[in-house]
Amino acid sequence: MGGITDSVTTILREVAAEGDAAVRRFSQKFDRAELEALEVTEAEIERAYAQFDPQSLADSQFAIAQVTAFAERQLETMQPLEIETLPGVHLGHRIIPIETVGCYVPGGRYPLYSAPIMSIVPAVVAGCREIVACLPPNTHETMFALCHLAGAHRIFKIGGAQAIAAMAYGTESVPAADKIVGPGNAFVNEAKRQVFGAVGIDQLAGPSEIFTIADDSGDARVIAADLLAQAEHDVHTRVGLATTSARLAEDTLAAIDAQLATLSTRDTAGEAWARQGQIVVCEDRATLIDYANFMATEHLQIHATDAHEMAREIHNYGSLFIGENASVVYSDKCCGTNHTLPTMAAARYTGGLWVGTYVKVCTHQWMETTGVETVAPKAVRQSLSEGMEGHARAAALRLYPQAHDRILDGDIPET
């Protein structure tokens, strides 16, 4: 890991100092891409749309509509607040969109159409003023069209740690973002970790995870298919089953072996299963629930006769899939919930990417004279007890406007 950390530190430092020149240099080094213009042009976007087959475009539009609808309903639950807690003491908060967000869109052997939808669409719904997308220059061109379709205002052919650096610090071409979101490889993850503070980030994502918890009613073939579907993401994917049924455990193990034999992605999925696949048999329902909460997995499926009741007893998960029909694949692609979720047990303290990621909840307050009369004496006394005379003076000035000179000379009336 030290090698990645040091390499990323160098990339960040040089992009911050040299801007576009460093971005081009690292793009040539890591992506073998000679880039004149870093930003995707309108002509390139039009060409990318032309490469989209009609069905894939329609399916992507369906996914965008679903993610938009869910994000809009989520945003409606976040309301501004204005209350009077005491006579003359007015407190509140506003929901304010983050101005500029940078969305990293990972590359890969195949175009991952769902990735830009999940990071860009909630930013559109939140009302972010400028949405910047960065994706590796060797990404399939249709991804440019999809970033545009999802709502990105500007799109750049920059990948890896240099993309995070460009969005964090800004360059001659790339505007500096206030927050950076989206998953990526180890270099992207490390870059996000290092720039955090200078900018906000959504989370540090590890390899994907899926666990299914099941009772004796579970279907081994369905469970195996779902586990292998996630395992084909990466050889480091963590997949597993926890069940109260020894029979289901044995049947699932056999089903995984059988399905791997005919799966075109078995080299990746099979290695993930061999490295980190788990099947755990729990003695009873309570232990099964405790195990699920302990795992705090990214994706948690519940295949049980009382799936909805069991769901109410589980509180550590990135996203919950209740019942056999709710496959992780539907959320991964197009049903409407976000697929950028906490991994490595981070679900114990956070949820996944959502429209709230792109807004700030900022408080405000205002006082009438009656409010000052109630609050100021407490503030003065507390300030003096803490040895903070400046605080006490500032508080007392509002309480005794006729004695400003005395107060500023250090003569603070007793309250």
| DSSP one-letter code for 262 | T
Query: In 3-state terms, what secondary structure has residue 91?
Result: strand
299 classed as catalytic: yes
**CB atoms near residue 173 (< 10 Å):** 17
Structure tokens belonging to residue 30: 């890591």
**Do the Cβ atoms of 84 and 375 come closer than 8 Å?**
no
The one catalytic residue among 233, 299, 303, 339: 299
The one catalytic residue among 209, 232, 298, 324: 298
> Got the DSSP string for 273-302?
HHHH-EEEE-SSHHHHHHHHHHH--SEEEE
**Do the Cβ atoms of 190 and 4 come closer than 8 Å?**
yes
d(CA 80, CA 363): 10
For 142-290, list the strands marked E by DSSP: 154-156, 179-181, 200-201, 209-214, 238-243, 278-281
**CB atoms near residue 279 (< 10 Å):** 19
Query: In 3-state terms, what secondary structure has residue 225?
Result: helix
User: Which sequence positions are flagged as catalytic?
Assistant: 298-299
